[in-house]
């Protein structure tokens, strides 16, 4: 429980500058995030939470709704796909304006995709779309996205890491404009207003938004509040309408408070995981990695440390997901005796069974600090020593993405479909391939090639079973489970739910 004195002290220390509207000011919606944004630019976005900024400004051909369903956005319908699975045809809406009043056309779509795909522009998220080739326009409101090879999942990634901006706008305004002050280049419900570093980012209502009558708010403010107690204080004192990363141990109590609502929804894309660098000792030994997998009681971790806000799983698949495989899950089930046996077969049996475990000092999606202490104690029981080092999430993300680390206890959110994290971690060219220590697994590549052809769940389930059993055998990471999408919000916030597939979604929110 967060003590009342701590909440009051946090509330007193977080009084808003005069220039900032209070959350309870009519027409202003305020969200408090734990994570400090680095950019507004979707193709260079580094964290899940702060995608709220890019998704307020920019939109995509299709999107994930809050229930994780794919639906059209700037396109009139989901795409038509050619028989060879290489061409996706989109019919665009003809009533969409950019924030500068310019109409959206197929030329803008072509420009946006091809700018992102061009290696010269070094878009951080370009590797996610590296199987896309180019875009062909077919009149002002029709275009064809052409792929180099079948890659069915790509449309699911658009909401998170892509946007459509006006033709030639990148050259006209420059990278820093898109990163820090993108006022004229989106089609979304919010028009960028101001970024106060380490404090807030604000938006005003787009009066020409194509979804008539939306948004219902006049102004939208995102506050950066890393401390759990301060974020909760903001909510309780009316300085925030919605908060992200609610503290797990207090969530159930807080959502019952008068004037407060809350919900936690199991996700299909939220890894709770100990990332491990397979190129560095001791994780360069598969027997050591298997020992690690058997040493942690995930059920106890989920129930007593994360207060059931994590669904335990030893796989890159949630237990409630259609592609989950129980046989694979059992291959890394909690069993201290098996952990000791695998450790004894590793080259670290007589020494060196020790590593540094990074954790974030600012909670990202869920606070990992208590979990780190629990995992440290579990590993000690089988003679593995984990040394905890806590630092800022931005520092950890940079080191992890470069492969400059041993282990990182973290929570990561994908687009909510099965392939995203697996391909990007365990196939060469994936944007997290350095995180895994450069793993390029031929079995993963072979099975992904089949999955990328598409098909229904019954056709794909045996392919995923083979894939998950292989990943369990190799134990590249130590998966702990899938976390819930959780938020707390004030009663005046209407038509809001935690989003399963993307960041916090405020497009439809109204204020009482």
Peptide bond into 450 cis (omega under 30): no
C-alpha distances in Å from residue 2, one per residue of 293, 306, 488, 490: 33, 16, 15, 18
Peptide bond into 215 cis (omega under 30): yes
What is the full DSSP assignment across 415-442? -SSTTHHHHHHHSTT-TTTTTTTS---H
pLDDT given at position 12: 43
Give the 3-state secondary structure of residue 403: coil
pLDDT given at position 65: 87
Residue closest to 32 by CA, chosen among 497, 310, 363: 363
Rounded Cα–Cα distance for residues 349 and 194 (Å): 56
- The domains located in the chain, with CATH, are 4-58+172-265+486-511 (3.40.190.10), 62-170 (3.90.76.10), 266-484 (3.10.105.10)
pLDDT given at position 188: 98
How many other β-carbons are positioned within 10 Å of the β-carbon of residue 337?
A: 9
Q: What 8-state DSSP symbol labels residue 226?
A: -
Residue closest to 348 by CA, chosen among 272, 410, 292, 267: 292
Question: Which single residue is written with the structure tokens 């792929």?
Answer: 147
Q: What are the respective helix, strand and coil percentages of the chain, to the nearest 5? A: 30, 25, 45
Are β-strands 200-205 and 219-224 bridged in parallel, bridged antiparallel, or unpaired? Answer: antiparallel
| pLDDT tens digits in sequence order for the chain, 512 residues long | 444 444 444 444 444 433 344 445 679 999 999 888 999 999 998 778 889 999 999 999 999 888 888 999 999 999 999 999 999 999 999 999 999 999 999 999 999 999 999 999 999 889 889 899 999 999 999 999 999 999 999 999 998 889 999 999 999 999 999 999 999 999 999 999 999 999 999 999 999 999 999 999 999 999 999 999 999 999 999 999 999 989 998 999 999 999 999 999 888 888 999 999 999 999 999 999 999 999 999 999 999 999 999 999 999 999 999 999 999 999 999 999 999 999 999 999 998 899 999 999 987 778 899 999 999 999 999 999 999 999 998 899 889 999 999 999 999 888 778 999 999 999 998 889 999 999 999 999 999 999 999 999 999 999 999 999 999 999 999 999 999 989 999 999 999 999 986 689 999 999 99
Rounded Cα–Cα distance for residues 90 and 75 (Å): 6
């Amino acid at each position: 429980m967060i003590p009342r004195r701590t909440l009051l002290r946090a509330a007193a220390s977080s009084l808003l500058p005069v220039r900032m509207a209070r959350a309870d000011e009519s027409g202003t919606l305020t969200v408090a995030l734990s994570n400090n944004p680095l950019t507004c630019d979707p193709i260079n976005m580094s964290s899940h939470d702060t995608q709220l900024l890019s998704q307020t400004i920019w939109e995509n051909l299709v999107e994930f709704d809050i229930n994780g369903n794919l639906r059209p956005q700037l396109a009139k319908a989901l795409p038509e796909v050619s028989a060879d699975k290489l061409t996706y045809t989109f019919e665009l809406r003809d009533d969409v304006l950019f924030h500068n009043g310019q109409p959206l056309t197929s030329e803008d779509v072509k420009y946006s995709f091809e700018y992102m795909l061009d290696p010269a522009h070094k878009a951080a998220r370009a590797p996610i779309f590296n199987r896309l080739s180019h875009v062909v326009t077919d009149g002002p409101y029709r275009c064809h996205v052409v792929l180099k090879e079948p890659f069915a999942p790509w449309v699911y990634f658009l909401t998170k890491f892509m946007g459509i901006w006006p033709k030639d706008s990148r050259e006209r305004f420059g990278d820093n404009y898109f990163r820090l002050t993108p006022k004229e280049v989106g089609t979304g419900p919010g028009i960028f207003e101001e970024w106060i570093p380490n404090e807030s980012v604000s938006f005003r209502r787009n009066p020409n938004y194509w979804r008539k009558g939306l948004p219902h708010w006049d102004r939208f403010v995102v506050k950066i509040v890393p401390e759990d107690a301060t974020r909760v204080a903001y909510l309780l004192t009316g300085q925030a309408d919605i908060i992200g990363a609610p503290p797990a141990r207090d969530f159930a109590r807080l959502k019952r408070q008068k004037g407060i609502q809350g919900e936690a929804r199991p996700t299909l894309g939220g890894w709770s995981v100990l990332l491990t660098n397979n190129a560095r000792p001791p994780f360069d030994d598969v027997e050591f990695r298997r020992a690690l997998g058997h040493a942690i009681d995930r059920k106890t971790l989920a129930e007593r440390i994360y207060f059931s806000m994590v669904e335990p799983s030893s796989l890159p698949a949630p237990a409630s997901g259609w592609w989950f495989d129980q046989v694979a899950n059992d291959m890394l089930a909690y069993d201290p005796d098996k952990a000791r046996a695998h450790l004894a077969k590793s080259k670290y049996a007589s020494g060196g069974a020790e590593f540094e475990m990074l954790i974030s000092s600012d909670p990202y999606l869920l606070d990992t600090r208590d979990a780190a202490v629990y995992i440290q104690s579990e590993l000690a029981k089988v003679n593995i020593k984990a040394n905890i080092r806590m630092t800022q999430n931005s520092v950890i993300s940079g080191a992890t993405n470069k492969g400059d680390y041993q282990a990182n206890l973290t929570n990561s959110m994908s687009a909510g479909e099965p392939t995203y994290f697996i391909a990007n971690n365990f196939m060469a060219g994936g944007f997290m391939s350095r995180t895994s220590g450069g793993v390029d697994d031929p079995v993963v590549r072979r099975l992904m090639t089949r999955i990328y052809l598409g098909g229904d769940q019954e056709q794909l389930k045996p392919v995923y079973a083979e894939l998950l059993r292989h990943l369990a055998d190799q134990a590249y990471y130590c998966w702990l489970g899938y976390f819930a999408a959780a938020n707390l919000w004030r009663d005046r916030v209407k038509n809001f739910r935690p989003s399963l597939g993307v960041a916090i979604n405020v497009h439809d929110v109204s204020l009482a």
